[in-house]
Structure 1
C-alpha cells in the first residue's frame, strides 16, 4: 500500500531547502490574509461610530444588541463563503479561488463605506464575509502543500501572522483617522475604502503563483480517501468506481474523518467564540475603564490597547510554528486555551487601571487571538488528505462561524442584561474549558508529515 505521509529528515536550519517559489507562495497568501485581518478589526474599532451613523434614535437605545448583530451577520457570511469556497478549491484549484476571493472582498468592503441604513450595512457585511471566507483556507492549503515538511509549520505560522499584521494596520490607521477626523462623524467610512483598494494589488501578485502539485497529482491518481486511516477501504471503493465522492460528504461518511472533523470544529468554535464574543469587546471595555479613571482622551485608549493587544498576537503567530514543533500539537492546543481562560479572567475581573491593561492586553492577545488561531493553519492540514484538504480545513475554520455567529449577538444581549462587558465576558470565557480537554482526543501528528 502507498505510503501516505511525506515526513522528511530534520534539517540543520529550519529554512534550509526553501526556494524563491516557496517564498512567493507564502507572500501571496500572507498579503491576502493581511486584508482579511484589516477587515476583521476595522469592523470592531469603527463599530460604535458606524452604528451611531446608520441607526435610528430608537435603535441606538439598544446599541450593544445591534453591535452584536452586525458582527454576527459578518461571521455568518464568512462561514458560508468559506465553506463553499473551500469545497470549490478542492475541485477547481486553490489559486483560482484565492483570486476570486480577494477581488470580491475588495469590491464589497469598499461598498460598505456607502452604507446609509442598518439593513444596507448588514447586507454588505454579509456579502463581504461571503467573499472573504475562502481566502484563508485556500492560502493555507496552498502553503502546506508546497512548503517542505521541516519548514511547513513555520510557514503556516508566518502566513497566519498576516492576519495579525492586518489587524495591527487597522488599529494604527483608525488611531490616525480618529485623531484627525477628516470626515467628522463619518470618518469610519474611510476605513473600508482604505482596506479595499490595496487588495486589488494582491490580484496582480498572485497571477504568478503556481497551483499545488500535490493536489493536482492526488486528483489525477483519484485518491479520494479523506484520511490515511481510511485509505485501504477507500482504495477498494475507488477500484470499483472512478466517480469522485463529494468532498464535504466524505468528512461525514468516513468514520475517522468524521471524528477528526467534529473535534477540530469544536476547537474552532471555542477559538471563534472567545475572540468575537470576548476579546472583540476589549477596546470598548478599555474606553469605559479610561472614562472611569478620568484619563485624558479616553476614546483614544481603545485604539491604543487594540494595537498593543494585536502586537501580542503577532508574536504568537510568528512563534507558533516553532513552539508547536517543539512541544507537539495537542500540548500546544491545551496550553493555548489555559492561557486564554486565565488572561480573560485577569483582564475583565482584576484589571482596574490603564497601566494594568497595558500589561495584560498583549498577553491576552498572545493567547486569545494569536495561539487560538495559529493552530488552525498548522494542525488540520495534517489530519486530512490532499483531495479533501481545502474542504476539511475550510469546514473546521468556517463552519464554526455558522454556529458561533450567534454568540456576539448573545454577548451583546448579555451586556445589556448584566449591565457591563466584564460580566458577559467572564461568563462566555467558560467555553475555553472545552478547548483545554478536547485536544487529547485527537492524534498527535508532530513529525509524521501530511497524509497525501
Structure 2
C-alpha cells in the first residue's frame, strides 16, 4: 500500500489560475478541432450528394479528395502557425487560428459548389492544424515541469469530447448537414 501523498506532492499543487485557464481554453479549442474533423466524415455523404445533385458524381471520390485536402491544410496550418507563434506569441496566434476555423466552418453552411467545399475544408484545416500546434506548445510552456505531463495528457484526452460532440451533432441534424457547421 502506498502512503497518502502529501498535498504539496500532488501534480497540480501550485498550478495557478492562469495556467488552468490556458489549459481550459486550449482544450476547448482542441475539442472543436476534433469536432471539425469528425463532422465532415459524418456529414460528407449527404453534403456531397446534395451539392452534386443530379450530376451523379462519385461521392466517395470527392469525400476522399476533400479528406486529403483537409490533411494538407492541417499540415500547412500547423507549420505556419507554429512559425508565426514563435515570432508573434502563442496567445494571439491561437486566437487567430480559432477564429479562422470557426469562420470558415460557419461558411461551409453556404457551400453550394464542390470548389467551395474544397477551399473551405483547406482553410478550416489550416486553422485546426494551427490551433493544435500552438495550443499544445502553449500548455507545455505555461505549466511547470512537474505538472506538464498531466496537463498535456488532459489537453490531448479532451479530444474525445469533440468526437462525441460530432456524433451527437450528426444524429441531431440528420439530412440537414448544413446546421452541423454552424
TM-score, normalised by the number of residues in structure 2: 0.90
Whether 1:22 and 2:11 are equivalent positions in the alignment is no
**Deviation string, structure 1 residues 375-416 (Cα, Å, up to 9, x no partner):** xxxxxxxxxxxxxxxxxxxxxxxxxxxxxxxxxxxxxxxxxx
- Structure with more of its chain in helix, by fraction: 2
Structure 1: 5+ residue runs without aligned partners? 1-10, 179-184, 194-452
Quote the offset at 1:105 in angstroms: 1.1
**Deviation string, structure 1 residues 165-199 (Cα, Å, up to 9, x no partner):** 11211111222222xxxxxx4x1000001xxxxxx
Quote the offset at 1:57 in angstroms: 4.0
Q: Number of matched residues?
A: 175
Q: Which structure 2 residues correspond to residues 38-437 of structure 1 after superposition, within 5 A?
A: 38-60=35-57, 62-178=58-174, 185=175, 187-193=176-182
Measure, in 2, the Cα distance between the counterparts of 1:71 and 1:135.
Answer: 18
Measure, in 2, the Cα distance between the counterparts of 1:173 and 1:88.
Answer: 33
Measure, in 2, the Cα distance between the counterparts of 1:124 and 1:53.
Answer: 17
Structure 2: 5+ residue runs without aligned partners? 1-7
SS at match of 2:110: coil
SS at match of 1:113: helix
Quote the offset at 1:162 in angstroms: 2.7
SS at match of 1:55: helix
Quote the offset at 1:136 in angstroms: 0.8
Does the 8 Å CA contact 2:31/2:158 hold for their aligned counterparts? yes
Quote the offset at 1:12 in angstroms: 2.6
SS at match of 1:46: helix
Q: Name which structure has the greater RCO, CA cutoff 8 Å, separation 6+.
A: 2
The equivalent residue for 2:30 is 33
Quote the offset at 1:22 in angstroms: 1.5
Does the 8 Å CA contact 2:45/2:60 hold for their aligned counterparts? no
Measure, in 2, the Cα distance between the counterparts of 1:68 and 1:174.
Answer: 19
Measure, in 1, the Cα distance between the counterparts of 2:102 and 2:18.
Answer: 26
Measure, in 1, the Cα distance between the counterparts of 2:108 and 2:97.
Answer: 17
**Deviation string, structure 1 residues 51-76 (Cα, Å, up to 9, x no partner):** 1111254553x322111001111111
Quote the offset at 1:145 in angstroms: 1.0
The equivalent residue for 1:266 is none
The equivalent residue for 2:4 is none
Say which one has the larger Rg. Answer: 1
Measure, in 1, the Cα distance between the counterparts of 2:172 and 2:178.
Answer: 14
The equivalent residue for 1:323 is none
